[in-house]
Amino acid sequence: MGKFRVLIKPSAAKELAAIPLKKDRQRIVRRIASLADDPRPPGSHKLTGHDGYRIRQGRYRIVYEITDDVLVVLVVKIADRKDVYRDL
């Protein structure tokens, strides 16, 4: 499998910057970077009713879409688990 290119929507980048703890932000960035090698890692789940996937990182969820034909992973939303599925 080829290496995927990871893109982050501007709104998701703002959500990442708004996370209060630097340690949490760093873990999320590492988790997003790992999607380039394996966009469907163990623990990822296909969202019901949407074309996206989600992975957990602590109390945060990373929602992303995969385009296999052009090898792109697009991070759509990063939020606390209680808020992440609103407005998808």
Per-residue pLDDT tens digits of the chain, which is 88 residues long? 559 999 999 999 999 999 999 999 999 999 999 999 999 999 999 999 888 999 999 999 999 999 999 999 999 999 999 988 887 7
Q: What pLDDT, on a 0 to 100 scale, did the predictor assign at position 2?
A: 59
Question: What are the residue boundaries of the structural domains of the chain, listed by start?
Answer: 5-80
Tell the residue number behind the tokens 């606390």, with chain if given: 80
Q: What pLDDT, on a 0 to 100 scale, did the predictor assign at position 83?
A: 87
Integer Cα distance of 54 and 43 in angstroms: 9
Integer Cα distance of 52 and 88 in angstroms: 10
H helix runs in the chain, sequence order: 10-17, 22-34
CATH class (in words) of the domain with range 5-80: alpha beta
The DSSP call for residue 69 is: G
